[in-house]
Amino acid sequence: MRQVDSIDGQELREMFAAATDWLEKSVSDIDALNVFPVPDGDCGTNMLLTMRSSIEDAYRAPDRSASAVAQAMAKGALMGARGNSGVILSQIWRGMAESLDGKESFTGSDLADALLQASTMAYKGLSNPVEGTILTVVREASSAAQTQAASGGDVISIMEATVSAANESVANTPTLLPVLREAGVVDAGGQGLYTILEGALHYLKGEIEKMQFRKPLIIASSIPLVARLPQMVAAEEVPYGYCTEFLLKGEGLNPDKLSQKLKKKGQSLIVVGDESTIRVHIHTLDPGNVIHYATSLATLHQVSIRNMDEQHQGFLEMQKERAPAVDIATVAVASGDGLSDVFASLGAAAIVPGGQTMNPSTKDLLQAVELVATDKVIILPNNKNIVLTAEQVHSLTTKSIEVVPTETIPQGIAALLAFDYEADFETNTKIMRKAKSAVKSIEVTRAVRSTQLNGLKIKKKQAIGFLDGNLVAVGDHANDVLNEALAKLNLDETEVITIYYGADTKPTEAEQISTSIREQHPQLQIEVVRGGQPHYNYIVSIE
């Protein structure tokens, strides 16, 4: 096993030069992850350009000490920093350089200290630090380095602990930042930092050759992807404005004061630097105002103003290319967050809230149809009473509409599942109609009044069970009613049973029923999913 006890300036430079090459390999993947703070898809590129500028300066360091090289890298990063993540990266380098100041070379424990300082500096650069970003990753990684350093170890072992903690931290970013969760991605800046650290570790381990033939790992989100609903996108559609960046050079500059002044002028503000050089990054609707103020303080350099709405469009195009090339969208009616998630996860482009007691209007459906990106739309009404409403949409839009008349949630899910990515609009409609008929549905709900139906006497609030819309069972307990309804079916010919339990039903009750079915029919594949639907204790699909 290779061991590295200390690193001098030259090795520091080579190590991060290799890391920069490593980063370059996944730039486009990182760009594609970019959804925060603005989904403009340039995070990887920005980090790469920042690292390049940093490494270029490293070659201009006055001597080969770790101190001099780190200083040069920090300066280079500051001068060349691009975008949010680039500026934060330059702060990380600044922290490293401060900690390594005066050192000819550094050990594993020096590295751990430098990383800690880097993390502190990264947070300091932001007026409003957000967790679930590169900041969290640098903090958690540096803390792992500290822990490892406490029990000793060479530079490699410290770096290994750092990289492994960074990996976990990146995977966890979607749990901290909702916008990542909705997009089903990890934080791009955090991923970029992880890739840089991983590249440095490969170099330390002498794996230069291996790096030539490999590509960096893009970390998968620790929580599953749920498609973002178009409704939500539409509601949040505010202009992103201009990404405004520049470098201020002068004397007696005060970054803190400048940061205070600019705070109200926009979002994602980062002000970093010292008395003679300050780098500013801000997202603002009025870049002129910001620039005007800055020119009154010192001279301006490297001014860059980019229209982020334009970038965002480009990003959306890029995302489109990555998604399966499907020109047919599906609009589904469902109520309950669980059921909505199920439909979204299976590829429904829009979910219109509604069901038995709250039928959506034609207008609601039309709105969803107009909102989805494609010209061909399939509507899944998922309720008998909504089928007719759905058929009205056809005459109100120029888009091509097909209604697959699903009368229950299980029919809708079966139809959506059967969607064929390779087939055309007409064929898909046929496939989905066929799939809908292959499934049986049981719904268990509570009677709203006392009545007599199908020869069954029903008291108000009793549990009642429907098999494909026909009343088949009545009882005091929802579980008993479900069992009775299931008994009407020949389960020996069944393969899969999926139980969606409602908002008012306890998961343990749902588990109980699945256990009892499993005992009686061990060959069945039974799944219990939280549907979260109102009114219905159970919606069950039998395939």
Partner 1 sequence: MAVKIVTDSLSDITSDIAQGLGITVVPLTVSFGRESFLDRVTMTTDEFYYKLTHDATWPTTTQPPPGDFINIFNKLAEETDEILVITLSSKLSGTYQSVLNAKDIFEGKCRIEVIDSLTVAMGLGLIAIAAAKAAQAGANLDEVTDLVRRAMPRSHLIAYFDTLKYLAKGGRIGKAQGLLGAMLSIRPILTVKDGEMSPVTRLRSRAAGMDYLYNFVAGFSHIEELAVEHATTPDDADKLIERLGSLFPKERIYGSTISPVVGTYAGPGAMAVSVLEAESK
Residues that bind partner 1 (CB under 8 A): 184, 213, 217-218, 220, 224-227, 322-325, 338, 341-342, 345-347, 413, 417-422, 431, 495-496, 498, 525, 527, 529, 543
Taking the complex as a whole, the smallest distance from the CB of residue 426 to partner 1 amounts, in Å, to 16
Alpha helix positions (H), 394-506: 409-417, 425-437, 478-487
Taking the complex as a whole, the smallest distance from the CB of residue 186 to partner 1 amounts, in Å, to 12
Question: What secondary structure letter does DSSP report for 1?
Answer: -
| Cβ closest to partner 1, residue 251 vs residue 493 | 493
Taking the complex as a whole, the smallest distance from the CB of residue 341 to partner 1 amounts, in Å, to 6
Place of tokens 């970029």: 192
Render 28-93 in DSSP notation, one character per residue: HHHHHH--SSS--S-HHHHHHHHHHHHHHHHTT-SSSSHHHHHHHHHHHHHHH--HHHHHHHHHHH
User: What is the rounded distance in angstroms from the CA atom of residue 166 to the CA atom of residue 499?
Assistant: 38
Task: Choose among 531, 534, 529: nearest CA to 496.
Answer: 529
How many CA atoms lie within 13 Å of 281's alpha carbon, on the beta-carbon side? 23
| Cβ closest to partner 1, residue 214 vs residue 477 | 214
| Cβ closest to partner 1, residue 322 vs residue 449 | 322
Taking the complex as a whole, the smallest distance from the CB of residue 474 to partner 1 amounts, in Å, to 30
Task: Choose among 467, 445, 444: nearest CA to 454.
Answer: 467
Place of tokens 């993390």: 119
Taking the complex as a whole, the smallest distance from the CB of residue 122 to partner 1 amounts, in Å, to 28
| Cβ closest to partner 1, residue 29 vs residue 104 | 29
Helix axis angle, 83-100 relative to 108-124, nearest 10°? 140
User: What is the rounded distance in angstroms from the CA atom of residue 335 to the CA atom of residue 342?
Assistant: 11
| Cβ closest to partner 1, residue 200 vs residue 413 | 413
Phi, psi of 367 (to 5 degrees): -60, -45
| Cβ closest to partner 1, residue 248 vs residue 348 | 348
Q: 345: Cβ–Cβ under 8 A, 6 or more apart, which residues?
A: 224, 225, 226, 227
CB 513 within 8 A of CB 484: no
Taking the complex as a whole, the smallest distance from the CB of residue 92 to partner 1 amounts, in Å, to 27
Phi, psi of 496 (to 5 degrees): -130, 135
Taking the complex as a whole, the smallest distance from the CB of residue 1 to partner 1 amounts, in Å, to 12
| Cβ closest to partner 1, residue 276 vs residue 345 | 345
| Cβ closest to partner 1, residue 299 vs residue 525 | 525
Task: Choose among 70, 74, 193: nearest CA to 135.
Answer: 193
| Cβ closest to partner 1, residue 225 vs residue 297 | 225
Taking the complex as a whole, the smallest distance from the CB of residue 495 to partner 1 amounts, in Å, to 4
| Cβ closest to partner 1, residue 318 vs residue 447 | 318
| Cβ closest to partner 1, residue 220 vs residue 447 | 220
How many CA atoms lie within 13 Å of 80's alpha carbon, on the beta-carbon side? 21
| Cβ closest to partner 1, residue 347 vs residue 353 | 347
Taking the complex as a whole, the smallest distance from the CB of residue 316 to partner 1 amounts, in Å, to 16
Identify whether 37 is preceded by a cis peptide bond (ω within 30 of 0): yes
Taking the complex as a whole, the smallest distance from the CB of residue 493 to partner 1 amounts, in Å, to 11
Taking the complex as a whole, the smallest distance from the CB of residue 242 to partner 1 amounts, in Å, to 32
What is the SS3 assignment for 356? coil
CB 54 within 8 A of CB 13: no
Tokens representing residue 218 in the block: 């893009």
Taking the complex as a whole, the smallest distance from the CB of residue 296 to partner 1 amounts, in Å, to 50
| Cβ closest to partner 1, residue 29 vs residue 101 | 29
Place of tokens 């399939």: 378
User: What is the rounded distance in angstroms from the CA atom of residue 535 to the CA atom of residue 82?
Assistant: 53
- The type of residue at 384 is K
Render 194-235 in DSSP notation, one character per residue: HHHHHHHHHHHTT-HHHHHH--PPPPPPSS---PPPHHHHHH
CB 463 within 8 A of CB 475: yes
CB 31 within 8 A of CB 48: no
Positive or negative CA dihedral for 275, 246, 199, 120?
Answer: positive
User: What is the rounded distance in angstroms from the CA atom of residue 109 to the CA atom of residue 151?
Assistant: 10
| Cβ closest to partner 1, residue 77 vs residue 542 | 542
